[in-house]
Amino acid sequence: MGNKVRIERICEFCGKTFIAKTCKTRFCCKACNDKYYKELIRSDRYNAVTKEVKEEKKKRIRLAVDELEVIQAREFISLKQLAIYLGVSRKSIYTYMRIYEIPFSQIGK
């Protein structure tokens, strides 16, 4: 083995001084590492961003479903047309239909 460098560091989670094996080590032990990331996930900033993304997605889906209902009430439309109309992929349409249990039938070409 090569020469071992002892790097004294302060654990970013518990604040204890420890000897790091590599200069990338940020925590004194695996437990601190795990706890740090768990807390990070729980932190407000992280949640705010995640929530925003989720809300945005929900809004988009709801909007799409509203439009879907309008279309359904009016006429039959192909999935391809629908996807173009809503500006989403065909895969997304299937997802919306599954989530909102929107009935659809497959009509031959």
Footprint on this chain of Zn ion (rule: CB under 5 A): 11, 13-14, 28, 32
Write the DSSP assignment of 6-18 as a string of letters.
PEEEE-TTT--EE
Distance of closest approach, residue 4 Cβ to Zn ion, in angstroms? 21
Three-state secondary-structure class, residue 75: coil
Give the separation between CA 25 and CA 18, rounded to whole angstroms. 10
Distance of closest approach, residue 8 Cβ to Zn ion, in angstroms? 14
Distance of closest approach, residue 9 Cβ to Zn ion, in angstroms? 10
Nearer residue to Zn ion within complex by CB, 6 or 109: 6
